[in-house]
Amino acid sequence: MKFIKTISILFFVFAATMASAQVKFEAKVSKTKLGVNERLRIDFEMNKDGDNFVPPSFADFTVVGGPNTSVSNSWLNGKRSYTKTYSYFLAPKKRGKFTIKQAIIEIDGETYKTFPVTIDVTAAVEQPKDGNDAAYVASENIHLVAEVSKENPYLNEAITVVYKLYVSLDTGVRNWNYKDNPRYNDFWSQNIEIKGLNIEKGMYKGEEYRYVVLRKTVLYPQKTGKLKLEPLVLDVSVEVPTNRTDIFGRPLMTKVPKTVTAGTRTINVKPLPETNKPADFKGAVGDFDFKVTTSKTQLNATESLEAKIEVSGRGNLKLFELPKLSVPSSLEVYEPQHSENVRTNLGGMQGSISDTYTIVPQYRGKYPVPTLSFSYFDPKTETYKRVTSDDIIIDVLEGPMANSNTSDAITDGSRQTVFPNSNTFAFIKTKTNFTSIKSEPFFKSTVFWSLFLLPFLFIPLAIVARKAKDRRDADVHGNRIRKADRLARKYLGEAKKALGHKEAFYVALEKALHNYLKAKLNIETSEMNKERIVEILRKRQVNDEVVAEFISILKSCEMARYSPFTQVTMQNDYEKAAKTISQIDKQLV
């Protein structure tokens, strides 16, 4: 009996020892049902340390925090208690029932797995206003706001969007990342460079906040009706105070991941009025001056002068065409050279654009340059306005006289007396001086045989030329390189002419890059921002290094307005642009 009792005691001691040595590895969640706007915490907990931890794939969730690792090691009544935990914070992507699959770890050479966990994600729920909940405190103390200068603009009228991040005085922001950038569909857009992020104080919903301006963008609507402004979205790490304090009585801060959005804004774009709309209206909206000038008004035939058509002021300068110059047919006119001196700030585009024509008169006389008119819509007065150029007379002093059929010159109606001269018809020969020539038969002559054999000599040359052409046509890679190089020279021609003149060079270079993208990638002006360019080039399988080089050139064009640039810098930027355009054209798919 005593022996049986001893065996029983040993058995229970062994069983207790085995139970205490049993390995536990399990997944614990903060809740199994939550709204799509809530967060979920999942802990993978073990009672012995392990290696090679492999978390499950959180395909239906966004990981907004973690993994965070914590270890608890304690002794109670002579017994050791050990716990190690891997924690993740998850945000559901959509509604539905989702399964978080098994996590895996190795402990003492054995592989252990957790059980799958099913999570039910419902529609958004009203969050409890719990002042002790760090996530709620963060949502109440940080706000991303898009401030729009005008919500009911006219078509092609400038509006500005300023993105501000407001943070309450007792809350901190550790850092942020841009999660989603707006693409501004149906708008011509340009971001305004912000030099440094300055913290300022301001009011938000009647309370004092600190704020920083993250981005400024100028928009020109290209369609009428209700247009959507996509939201800017940030991932922010927020520090909020807790109810605990340190030994000095200062509140302890806890860090909370937070996604903030500026929200979607609707812009109601009004069409330009049809009443009193001029027939020659080209879409100019703003406040402009207009003038036509010439470099000289007196010159000789075959000399040249320049006529400049210029619009200056504030408005959508890059988005309309200038009036065309019309001159008498006796004046030879060459294609105009377009120039833009435009800068963009929070008020929109301002500066000037011009077309410069080279004119060469062929005959002597006085030639009128017909007056030109320029019409635009002024959104401040909500009326159309017209500006007309002054009359210009070009006086050609010396040169041949035009005949009556071609002359467009102004004449005074006076007649000139003609005095006969005995030598008037001296150029007509009245006597001949014939000489005899000895002719030989053409058939079998030297000329005959030369003309007969000449085609046969061209046959081998044609064969050689044909083979060379076939080889060139078959060289797909070489043809693509040559085509790309020609394309680069074509678009950068104007920029090369302006080398040495900083503003003109970088304006021409930026225009060349934009025109290239329009021609090759069908990018509209409204999509011409760096993020969209990078997205499209990468889709077309252009190398990331080449894309980065292209964007750096665009940045150089923008920085040129504010920074000194040397001749060497301009030459390097020109060569870099030519090389980059050529590389993009070779890689485009």
Q: DSSP states of 122-151 as a string?
A: ES--PPP--TT-HHHHHHHHEEEEEEES-S
All domains of the chain, ordered by start, with CATH? 18-122 (2.60.40.740), 134-269 (2.60.40), 286-396 (2.60.40.740), 476-587 (1.20.120)
| 53: CB partners within 8 A, 6+ apart | 44, 86, 103, 104, 105
Distance CA 346, CA 216 (A): 8
> Residue 199's beta-bridge partner residues?
212
Query: 39: helix, coil or strand?
Result: coil
- pLDDT score for 19: 43
- pLDDT score for 6: 52
Alpha helices in 115-230 (DSSP H): 134-141
What is the identity of the amino acid at 263? G
Per-residue pLDDT of the chain (589 residues; tens, 9 = 90+): 555 555 555 554 444 444 445 888 999 998 899 888 788 899 999 888 888 899 998 888 988 877 888 888 777 666 778 888 999 989 888 888 999 999 999 988 889 999 999 999 887 776 655 555 677 778 788 999 999 999 999 999 999 999 999 999 888 887 788 888 888 889 999 999 888 788 899 999 888 999 999 999 999 999 999 999 988 888 888 888 776 766 666 677 788 888 888 888 999 999 999 999 999 899 999 999 999 999 999 999 888 999 999 999 999 999 999 999 988 888 888 889 999 999 999 889 999 999 999 999 988 989 998 899 999 999 999 999 999 998 899 999 888 887 655 555 554 433 333 444 444 444 455 566 666 555 556 666 777 777 777 777 778 887 877 777 777 666 655 555 555 556 556 667 777 777 777 777 888 888 888 777 777 776 665 566 777 788 888 888 888 888 888 888 887 777 765 556 666 677 888 888 888 888 887 777 6
| 316: CB partners within 8 A, 6+ apart | 156, 157, 158, 188, 220, 283, 284, 285, 286, 348, 349
- pLDDT score for 73: 79
- pLDDT score for 447: 73
Distance CA 137, CA 440 (A): 114
What is the identity of the amino acid at 452? F
- pLDDT score for 411: 45
